[in-house]
Amino acid sequence: MKISRIMMAGALLLAACTQAPQPTAPKLTSYVNPLIGSGGHGHVFVGAHVPFGMVQLGPTSVTTTWDWCSGYHQDENSVIGFSHTHLSGTGIGDLFDVTIMPVTGEVTYARGILGDSLSGLWSSADRTQEVAKPGYYSVPLTRYGIKAEVTASARVGMHRYTFPASEQAAIVIDLENGGCWDRSTETSMQAEGSDLIVGYRYSKGWANNQKIYFAAQFSKPFESFTLHGNEDMYGRASFTTAEGEQLLLKVGISPVSIDGAKAALAAEVPHWEFDKVAEAADAAWESELGKIRIEESSVVPASTFYTAMYHAMTAPILFSDINGDYRGADGNIYNAPHNMYSIFSLWDTYRAKMPLMSIIQSERFGHFAATMIDICDKQGRLPVWHLWGCETDCMVGDPGVIVVADAIVKGAKSIDAHKGYKAILKTFEQDGRGRALRKKYGYIPCDPFKESVAYDMEYAIADGAAAQAAAALGYADDAKMHTNNSHSYRNFFDPATGFVRGKKINGSFNEPFNPYFSAHRDDDYCEGNAWQYTWLVPQDVAGMAQCFGGKEKMLAKLDSLFLAPSTVEGDPSPDISGLIGQFAHGNEPSHHILYLYTMLGQPHKAADRIREVMSTQYHDAHDGLSGNEDVGQMSAWYIMSALGFYQVEPAGARYWFGSPAVKSAQLAVEGGTFNIETQNNSEANKYIQSILLDGKEYTLPYINHCDLKAGSTLTYIMGDKPAKWYTKDVTE
């Protein structure tokens, strides 16, 4: 008996040894192509960083025009150096702080003139040998014969430069050059010993009082360190190098102090193992990308989906030191028990990016909201567009109210909900940016105020979000007040034309009127026209239907949006892009529109248009985005839509169904795992026939946030015929 057991164990062992090895699933980072959106008008950052990291280390070009505002564009290959801060997908340029350029020989200490090989620091980059992947970027600099490689941790950028043999090799630290609008106002750098340079850069641009401190440590002592250029804003660390010698540099940054930058170096990269830092960055991305695991389909390739995930987690960026110190919105230094953040592109991201974060990054989402409440404490109101601790007031409305209200309604754990609501009320008390006019007239009139329709309609959305927050906290009277205020958009609706229009102080509509007309920053709308802004009422879709004279008339008008000529007259913003008729998916005010069909009882039309946008306006190429990425919003729309739902109503805590395009998905949520399954899903079978939630028939046109975060299983049964599985729409 004993022998037979031994023989059996041996046989099992032999079988195990001879069994074919199971294939290993590809890493999620292998699907990411950081160059998607680096052409066209995508404006994405290309370089090395970790999810939500303070450091975004990558190449910065000579060109500073609109399509180069991230520092990189596929249309030309100049490099003036590798900067530690960048923006991704914005429509305005800034940052590019602490730029590092390896050189050989004598150079002119300036940005340079494109095409003049003797002017400035710049070099051409050999894009045929470029490598861009999560946490790592590499490219040869042809002017100097240097291979540049960069990687990063949260607060430290690490550089590896492979030099030719040279007695005039150097690494130049550039504190002069920033983004399109950015100008240095005060800089300093000095050597500490023979391998460390410390300093700071203060600048004024889109961020009007930006401060960054750095500590740059070299892997071998420099032979000399000298200051050059305009007001000594360039520092040259000189070396003698052998052929193929690698010089390493690690740069810690801080918004607070040089000591904070040094502490980042000591804590995050205490060694000189470049590959180890790159591997850690890759692992960080692998972990965060894994918050959603999908089974790809012919409609949703893994490369497009996971690149969208990558772009969505570029920002907000970490904005506090290792010890919790951070620079407040008032410019003073404070300490917080949790991470603080900056780069809040809220007009863009309140629509899909922040709701996505509330699902798969619930702890960080709470920290985002807590940071916004802290900003209100320091500057007297919630942020509009916060950049490196500075309020830019870019774009219209009060989008910070919407995100904080969403956090309150969803029970974010990192915030004091009542304090957050007080921040909302404090923001509403302000009179700037057209609010005084709105309080006086009940709407913002167009004769004394530009972009009046856009400002007022966005304020109305914020009122709708505040009503949801007030109701969640039991403030019934406040909820009623905010709801009434959220109806101010009705002042602009003209039943004769079926469009929202500018209205004057005397109550008459602005003339002349052309729904196709848009004059950038100089008409009644913002980055849009009457066709696009008429639908910007996500907080009161039922009320909007009444304005049209009923649901059927609203649906007929909505159909016409996609059939109208795709022309925008006047002097339109280039942001009005991705046109299908007059629907402009390349800009954020249109992002909820397709889901109005589900809300109005025609989900098959939502499915048709959602699948059309996903297949025609997102793809795996340099111009794979139809408009600015806008710090993750374009990508978040794709992610949410691929999963089959979208949060239309501000702080509504429910997600309206569209057309799921993945075969399956597992989302890491607060309560565990939220599973999405589809049956019979394909390009043809794009219509939801029925839905199961935890195996039971589900007859609502939306799913609640509480069901998502609890970790349920949602099953879509798909088919090729239009169907309606729910009995009541938003108007019933």
- The string of pLDDT tens digits covering residues 158-198 is 999 999 999 999 999 999 998 778 999 999 999 999 999 99
Judge residue 232's burial from the number of C-beta atoms within 10 Å of its C-beta, 0-12 exposed, 13-18 middle, 19 or more buried: middle
pLDDT at residue 25, as a whole number? 83
* Closest to 358 in 3D by CA, of 90, 650, 135, 638: 650
The CATH T-level fold of domain 28-283 is: Beta-galactosidase; Chain A, domain 5 (2.70.98)
Half-sphere exposure of 219 (CA within 13 A, CB side): 18
Q: Output phi, psi for 626, to 5 deg.
A: -85, -5
pLDDT at residue 116, as a whole number? 74
- Domain chopping of the chain, boundaries: 28-283, 292-719
Cα(663)–Cα(668) distance, rounded to whole angstroms? 17
pLDDT at residue 518, as a whole number? 96
Q: For residue range 554-598, list pLDDT tens digits in order.
A: 999 999 999 999 999 999 999 999 999 999 999 999 999 999 999
Put simply, whether the predicted model's pTM sits higher than 0.85 gets the answer yes
621-624 contacts, C-beta under 8 A, 24 or more apart: 621/36, 621/39, 622/35, 622/36, 622/37, 622/38, 622/39, 622/40, 622/42, 622/74, 623/37, 623/39, 623/40, 623/42, 623/74, 624/36, 624/37, 624/40, 624/42, 624/304, 624/307
* Closest to 722 in 3D by CA, of 687, 690, 695, 694: 687
The CATH T-level fold of domain 292-719 is: GH92 mannosidase fold (3.30.2080)
> What does the chain come to in residues?
732
pLDDT at residue 524, as a whole number? 96
What would the two tokens of residue 123 be? 């070099």
pLDDT at residue 22, as a whole number? 61
What residues in the chain have per-residue pLDDT under 50? Answer: 1-18
**Residue for token pair 């066209």:** 40
pLDDT at residue 24, as a whole number? 79
What would the two tokens of residue 720 be? 């090729």
Cα(175)–Cα(97) distance, rounded to whole angstroms? 7
- As a whole number, the mean pLDDT across the chain is 95
* Closest to 479 in 3D by CA, of 408, 548, 546: 408
Q: For residue range 270-321, list pLDDT tens digits in order.
A: 999 999 999 999 999 999 999 999 998 888 999 999 999 999 999 999 999 9
pLDDT at residue 84, as a whole number? 98
Contact partners, residue 73, CB within 8 Å, separation at least 6: 38, 39, 61, 63, 67
Answer yes or no: are the C-beta atoms of 385 and 94 closer than 8 Å: no
